[in-house]
Copies of this chain bind each other. A is one copy, B any other.
């Protein structure tokens, strides 16, 4: 396990770099800038695993023609406060922010807005979407399913996504509350970081490909699994398992955004 030398770039240079890479693959200027903004927001929040370093995975998909660089997003069904959107196989980094705007516009009029997206892909940090809601003095909520990496409670096989959830609440005088988390005992990025540093991981984070506890991060990558939030039976794994399974089973579209306008003069949720 070798350590990687870190280089620091100004955020504008990273934004510019991402934009130009995406332009190269036929992504229109406005969309490329939008996608670069999502990636940069991860770096700015210290979520390095989801920042510009992640650009490579989008590039792989674009270069293999697996992502549509010029999607035409369609609203399939809607009510005053809900919509189901077809992302036309565009970049999640482009489809996501557009859906987010639709949800916030709905919330402006109907009091709340829920948008569910199908036919899209990795949308960057869930936190990006809820931070946008804060800019409009709204409560933001974003969720997504993901590639399977997590074993259910007592399982020995990857069956569930890391299914992140982000929630943000504006506050009056205090700073807003922003939660942005995966629903496993530890985020996959923590495993990657331990590998880079040549460190072991704590018990309860994952199991190896034989279903046995491990503290070696390489075992997780080599066919092992992350453990779900709650970890094991004694620590409430059974509760969390129910919640993760519910998310996995029902939130089967690529992601869902909820935004509700906060009302002045009362605590955030009331």
Contacts and interface: CB of A to CB of B under 8 A. Distances in A.
Contacts of A266: 77, 84
A268 interface: yes
A250 interface: yes
Interface stretch (A15-23, A29-37, A53-61, A229-237): A229-237
8 contacts: A84-B266, A177-B250, A229-B230, A229-B239, A230-B235, A231-B235, A236-B240, A256-B269
Given A229-B240, A236-B184, A236-B230, A246 B111 contact: no
A118 B184 CA distance: 33
B202 A234 contact: yes
Interface string A252-270: 1100100011010011111
A149 B72 CA distance: 51
Given A169-B249, A182-B239, A232-B235, 16 more contacts: A77-B263, A79-B111, A80-B111, A82-B112, A112-B112, A114-B260, A169-B250, A179-B246, A181-B242, A181-B243, A185-B236, A203-B234, A229-B236, A231-B234, A252-B270, A256-B269
Main secondary structure of the interface of A (DSSP, over half): mixed
A263 B245 CA distance: 21
6 A-B pairs with least C-beta separation: A79-B111, A231-B235, A82-B111, A185-B236, A81-B81, A235-B235
